[in-house]
Structure 1
Amino acid sequence: MQSTEVNLVPTPYSRTNPFQAKIMKNVNLNGEGSSKETRHIELSLQNSGLSYVPGDCLGVIPENDPELVAALLEEMKWDGEAPVAISKQGDTLPLREALLKHFEITLLTKKMVQQAAELTDNEALKKLVAEDGVKEYIDGRDLLDLLRDFGPWKASAQEIVALLRKMPPRLYSIASSIAANPEQVHLTIGAVRYTAHGRERKGVCSIQCAERVQEGDTLPVFIQVNKHFNLPESPEKDIIMVGPGTGIAPFRSFIQERAVTNAPGRAWLFFGDQRSSTDFLYRSELEQYMQDGALTKLDTAFSRDTEQKVYVQHKMLENSKELFEWIDGGAYFYVCGDKQNMAKDVHNTLIDIIEKEGGMTREAAEAYLNDLQEQGRYQRDVY
């Protein structure tokens, strides 16, 4: 008997063949006066065959800043129309387009700088390589810095681009549930801007999304499955989510999914940012979920609203008794966001809470948390 299920044809779209997703909405979630800019972007997946589950990521293949590309061409007096090889197979692109769309130009690697030293007589660069100072130099610097700092170059454009890596895709936690938003995918992206080594720096993908793409434009995307960050199989299970800043993204997807499927399990969200008046991302949605019961508890920490800075881990401590009761009763615990500080602080606070409320030694509390991790009940999506 022949199967009637014709919709199981695999989608042709992937990392190597991304789907051109149309931007339906692109808004700043932060209020006026905020020191941050967080874009909420809604993309159409219509006719793509792409699907995802809460916890998955969306890969975006970005383009470099045209101003940075123009500065490189100007610095080196290169002809932007001259063809350069972009692959071992000999595929070529005009230089400007190759720098814009194909190569990573905002990050340097140690290997790259070492190879670049062969292309110049600049003593300072040879000394840097010889004395193992490359690692320190590349921190916060890009291709333009390298070309400006160590000329004159006795190299063609082709020789310089041969040093470059292919532009890697940027992965973002998906901020929507496909059940709640059929044929759509939403992202929550913090715009990255900072000054380093006397120059303004911009995140490649985040600033493309914040400044250079409008509603109606398209972005090349693909779905990246995330097997280590998913809702519990049973909708009866309680979930505790810690997601300050853009770490809220996958939890918006978790809550949407649970609301649309009427999951009976309880949900508790810890969210934090700088100021409640300007940085409470998705505030009205979250308050609505509280009213509807899709969100059982919502604890917020706004670090700039008080004399003493309050973060999500402080809110966890304030609720330590109830938090441990939820976990000991089978709740799943999720963390999403900054790996450097937040995730570490939340991890240590979790051990403190287990130690205190569970009446355990430090070692026993750590073992308890390791056990949760092995059961898949402590999951982290940190970057």
Structure 2
Amino acid sequence: MLILCYFLYIILLEVEKKIMQLTLENTNTKSDKLPFSRTNPFQAKVLKNINLNGTGSTKETRHIELSLKGSGLTYNPGDALGIVPSNDPELVAAILEEMQWDEEAVVTVGKKGETLTLKEALTDYFEITLLTRKILQQAATLTENSELQNLVLAENADQLKEYCYGRDLLDMLRGFGPWKASAQDIVLLLRKMTPRLYSIASSIAANPDEVHLTIGAVRYTAHDRERKGVASILCAERVQEGEMLPVFVQANKHFHLPETQDKDIIMVGPGTGIAPFRSFIQERAVNKAPGRSWLFFGDQHAKVDFLYQKELENYLQDGILTRIETAFSRDTDQKVYVQHKMLEYSKELFEWFENGAYFYVCGDKERMAKDVNEALITVIEKEGVMSREAAEAYLKDMQKQGRYQRDVY
């Protein structure tokens, strides 16, 4: 009997040991496969990277297709894709040269005391293209430069704000030396790199395991130097087909298609603002949505700047798009924008509103979105034969119902 109990005890020990081993294996598997997110981006393979603008255009708009295969990531029309970018190697090299720093020197970054080489930190970890009041104020303690000491005084807040606009770390280092600071002192001033968000330009139902983007390359001259957008120029100049981009999906609960597919939709998306509407149209095409779709698109020249022209014309021909109105501002003596086209078709627009249509606008926040909002009020006021106050209340009511949605930046 004792021998039997001993054998049973041994067997129970082995079973317990096996259970613990399996539990550990499962835990390791789970930790190895954390969901991809802002803090754990997925390395997406670039399948396609092309310029949508024709020869002679003053713009460069990249159409980028990325593989999400194996990521488990999904998205809805209206969501955004985050790109975790890296800084321009030429700008990093210029900073290292200006300060005569050793690129292999080790610096501490982040609250957990992670260490990186100086080149890695400036390339992948820190924002080096943006200056803030706080950065300049802290930098003033690391130099005896009287110009900077004066600039950060409370009474010069407006001048400080003006200085920061359009300047970067290299400008500051060149302008306010000599510095009594180490590389570690300088990088401690900087903010961590923030991901850049772009409206998704595809429907996952139409493109399984893929996500598409429409990105305008940002290039401009300011303060006697050429400037480049961090993520847009990474995509335009340095990321080739077959290479990887670290990405994550950012849900946008305030910009989405109507819950029922029989609702009409009106989309205003000039330039890269077309991106989410390409997603909307693809989704409706797959689902054979009975609701009508009306697109307002605008850019500079019809010949070289009509983004996704053939696609959109095919959708129109197939009846997936009911109407397209275009506004190419540089093709006529008088500049015509999307808001002018809205006013031109005010009667039909108001009829769509009265029929329960949803209205969407995507793109430039500062001017375009404001002009479109103003045009909307004018349309409602005129066609609804009501006062401006009543027209504004009508539009607010549309907003409350989720029938007026904006994705502006």
TM-score bucket of the superposed structures, by smaller chain = over 0.9
1:60 counterpart (73, 78, 83): 83
- Match of 1:329? 355
- Match of 1:7? none
TM-score, normalisation: structure 1? 0.97
Mapped partners of 2:316, 2:161: distance in 1: 48
- Match of 1:367? 393
- Match of 1:80? 103
Q: Is it true that 1:275 corresponds to 2:275 in the alignment?
A: no
- Match of 2:41? 18
Q: Is it true that 1:232 corresponds to 2:262 in the alignment?
A: no
| 1:292-303 pair list within 5 angstroms | 292-303=318-329
Mapped partners of 2:353, 2:128: distance in 1: 45
Deviations 1:34-54 (A, max 9, x none): 000000000000000000000
Deviations 1:127-157 (A, max 9, x none): 1111333111101000000000000000000
- Match of 1:184? 210
| 1:11 Cα deviation from its structure 2 partner | 6.4
Mapped partners of 1:87, 1:308: distance in 2: 53
1:116 counterpart (139, 144, 150): 139
Contact 1:174/1:186, CA 8 A, preserved across alignment: yes
Mapped partners of 1:282, 1:304: distance in 2: 19
1:346 counterpart (372, 378, 381): 372
Mapped partners of 1:60, 1:89: distance in 2: 23
| 1:125-274 pair list within 5 angstroms | 125-130=148-153, 131-132=156-157, 133-274=159-300
Amino acid at match of 1:283: Q
Amino acid at match of 1:126: Q
- Match of 2:312? 286
Contact 1:11/1:50, CA 8 A, preserved across alignment: no
Structure with greater Cα Rg? 2
Mapped partners of 2:316, 2:394: distance in 1: 31
Amino acid at match of 2:325: D
- Secondary structure, counterpart of 1:380 in structure 2: strand
Structure 2: runs of 5+ lacking an equivalent: 1-32
| 1:89 Cα deviation from its structure 2 partner | 1.5
Deviations 1:136-188 (A, max 9, x none): 11010000000000000000000000000000000000000000000000000
Show structure 1 runs of 4+ deviating over 3 A. none
Q: Is it true that 1:315 corresponds to 2:341 in the alignment?
A: yes
Higher share in helix: 2
- Match of 2:11? none
Amino acid at match of 1:379: Q
Amino acid at match of 1:313: Q
- Secondary structure, counterpart of 1:322 in structure 2: helix
TM-score, normalisation: structure 2? 0.91
Mapped partners of 1:40, 1:87: distance in 2: 34
Alignment identity in percent?
74
Structure 1: runs of 5+ lacking an equivalent: 1-9
| 1:12 Cα deviation from its structure 2 partner | 1.1
Mapped partners of 2:113, 2:329: distance in 1: 53
Mapped partners of 1:90, 1:54: distance in 2: 39
Residues 198 and 19 of structure 1: CA distance in aligned 2, closer, same or farther (over 3 Å): same
Amino acid at match of 2:104: E
